[in-house]
Amino acid sequence: MIKRLLCVMMFSLLAASMSYAAVVDGVDVPEKLAVGDTELLLNGAGMREKRLGPINKDIYVASLYLTTKTSDPKTIIDADETMMLRIKIVTSLITSEKFINHTKEGFIEATKGNTAPIQKEIDAFLSAFADDIKDGDLFEILYTKGVGVQVFKNGSKEAKIMIPGIAVKPALFGIWLGDRTEKNLQSLAKNLLSSPEIKK
């Protein structure tokens, strides 16, 4: 019942306010999104870069949406509030296998190696990225207060996965906002925590 209700309510999500957007390296980022009756505001956005040999390669643009803007990562990670992370792939170099492996590493760091209590939820989340990932794909990772985590791909009205409850949510958002060893991820976290310039 919850899953069916959420699927019905969700895709007022794409009735997003697109009239003004930030631009991150040529990628338009909506200023606001609507999830049911909840308005989400763009908290920050940035490019995920990955070092390949001597250079950094652009991988995806990430943007974070909250009900109330904040620059405090712990507040976001711990909050039982509706929020969303959007990921826009900008390269053909990323594959499903690479994305899943990097995300596994993120869960390990976000939980300080203690993934066992939420391993079932982690496996369910990773299954949302099992299909081929292509340049231009858009993933929307949504946590809905009191309901759980969903992943949508390319504007589909049907979630690829639904994970009830809040158990996996702190580690999930900790992947992008928590203490990471990779400098490029530290830089991305800073961008997600600072409001970008809005294009008028």
What mean pLDDT is predicted for residues 53-67? 91
Position 52 scores a pLDDT of 74
Structure tokens at 42: 């763009």
Cα–Cα distance measured from residue 166 to residue 146, given in angstroms and rounded to the nearest whole number: 7
What does the block give as tokens for 13?
């999500």
Give 79's contacts (C-beta < 8 A, 6+ positions apart): none
Average pLDDT over residues 146-164: 96
**Are 19 and 32 in contact, with CB atoms under 8 Å apart?**
no
Least confident of 29-33, 49-53, 78-82: 49-53
Domain edges within the chain = 2-199
Task: Provide the mean pLDDT of the chain.
Answer: 89
Name the architecture of domain 2-199.
Answer: 3-Layer(bba) Sandwich (3.50)
So what's the pLDDT on residue 51?
A: 79
Q: pLDDT-based confidence at 197, cuts 50/70/90?
A: low
pLDDT tens per residue, range 13-47 = 544 444 457 788 888 999 999 998 999 999 999 99
What is the pLDDT, as a whole number, of residue 15?
46
Q: Where are the alpha helices (DSSP H) in 79-141?
A: 96-110, 119-126
Q: What tokens does 4 get? A: 């069916």
Q: How far is CA 1 from CA 5, 7, 55, 125, in A?
A: 6, 10, 49, 20
